[in-house]
Amino acid sequence: MASAAVPASLGRELSDPPSDGISNLRFSNHSDLLLVSSWDKSVRLYDASANVLRAEFMHGGPVLDCCFHDDSSGFSAAADNTVRRLLFASNKDDILGKHDAPVRCVEYSYAAGQLITGSWDKTLKCWDPRGASGQERTLVGTYPQPERVYSLSLVGHRLVVATAGRHVNIYDLRNMSQPEQRRESSLKYQTRCVRCYPNGTGYALSSVEGRVAMEFFDLSEASQAKKYAFKCHRKSEAGRDIVYPVNAIAFHPVYGTFATGGCDGYVNVWDGNNKKRLYQYSKYPTSIAALSFSRDGRLLAVASSYTFEEGLKPHEKDAIYIRGVNEIEVKPKPKVLPPA
């Protein structure tokens, strides 16, 4: 359990964490189950409230991403090029299909009833998980990307894909033959993470240079005028800015505000509409690798796990913290208009 050295202000540490880096973690849409993928080649299912490990799936290589289908099954993307379906009750997994290179991202679209994976083989693949296993039956389509896929995010029928080389493709899941929009990231440095706003109007994109861009889908002048970028996860030291990659973005399901996690070990909560930072949590032992809000927004799972940004070096042990979320930390504070 939580070591004495860990202050309670970080949240409750999850017991039985993975033995190596954490690549991603996600809360279920229906309960407080938490799915965690790790570099120790495992995917673990926890009951976050009960702090209990419920299932564990071993893979052939480090697992780079995971997502829920529902409370009985989920999917994983691994560095052994496989996309797997995980069945929680039986603790069994089967291979849904393969890419030609490590699979970096996986997302399940409820709107389309399809699974979407992005890989370093520069393709996006859509799978229909209802069929029998075997790539011939489940693969719906393969869509070439300009570069290796680094991150992807879904909202409604929209899919945003961020690749190496700062490319961003926006798709409509109903017509995957062509991207709806082809964009270049507004930020000058490598994209780390992309997440769509819950209200479906746009997406947030973070880079390795301590910056986040807020973008909008609508290409009209009015909407594009609203886009902006802000600096975050930086430290001023001796007159210079030390700049940290922003690894994770998570939107609060109720308030639409969002949290970012960086290699500086901090989690910040932002109000995108009012362009303010709402809160900064206490510093975590090492880089923040992943963040996830629970379905009601009352819990925040924080993966404190070194993300290899400085190569191989000794680091704090990898841990997952579950912290309760107070309204004051996430509720937007509209601008107070000056009295007339």
| 100, 180, 208, 284 alpha-carbon torsion, rounded to 10° | -90
- Smallest separation, CB 335 to other proteins (Å): 31
Using rule CB under 8 A, residue 235 touches other proteins? no
Give the closest residue to 331 by CA, choosing from 267, 277, 272, 255: 255
Amino acid identity, position 141:
G
Q: Within a 10 A sphere around the Cβ of 244, how many other Cβ atoms?
A: 21
Q: Within positions 29 to 68, which residues make up the interface with other proteins, using CB under 8 A?
A: 39, 62, 64
Using rule CB under 8 A, residue 195 touches other proteins? no
Q: Within positions 149 to 168, which residues make up the interface with other proteins, using CB under 8 A?
A: 150, 164-165
Using rule CB under 8 A, residue 101 touches other proteins? yes
Using rule CB under 8 A, residue 136 touches other proteins? yes
- Smallest separation, CB 238 to other proteins (Å): 11
Classify 8 as helix, strand or coil. Answer: helix
Beta strands at 167-172 and 181-184: parallel, antiparallel or unpaired: antiparallel
- Smallest separation, CB 295 to other proteins (Å): 27
Q: How far is CA 188 from CA 141, 148, 167, 192, 230, in A?
A: 31, 17, 11, 12, 13
Total binding residues toward other proteins, as defined by CB under 8 A: 32
Please answer whether residues 193 and 153 qualify as being in contact, where contact means their C-beta atoms are separated by less than 8 angstroms.
no
Using rule CB under 8 A, residue 148 touches other proteins? yes
Using rule CB under 8 A, residue 208 touches other proteins? yes
310 vs 327 by CB, closer to other proteins: 310
Region near other proteins per CB under 8 A, out of 47-55, 223-231, 239-247, 323-331: 239-247
Reduced 3-state DSSP string for 135-169:
HHHHEEEEEECCCCEEEEEEECCEEEEEEHHHEEE
Using rule CB under 8 A, residue 184 touches other proteins? no
Q: Within positions 296 to 315, which residues make up the interface with other proteins, using CB under 8 A?
A: 307-311
Site mask, other proteins, residues 247-286, x = CB under 8 A?
A: ----------------------------------------
Beta strands at 103-109 and 114-119: parallel, antiparallel or unpaired: antiparallel
Give the Cα separation of 301 and 99 in Å (integer). 29
- Smallest separation, CB 101 to other proteins (Å): 7
Please answer whether residues 92 and 74 qualify as being in contact, where contact means their C-beta atoms are separated by less than 8 angstroms.
no
Task: Write out the residues near other proteins by the rule CB under 8 A.
Answer: 21, 23, 39, 62, 64, 79, 101-102, 104, 120, 131, 136-137, 148, 150, 164-165, 189-190, 192, 208-209, 240-243, 245, 307-311
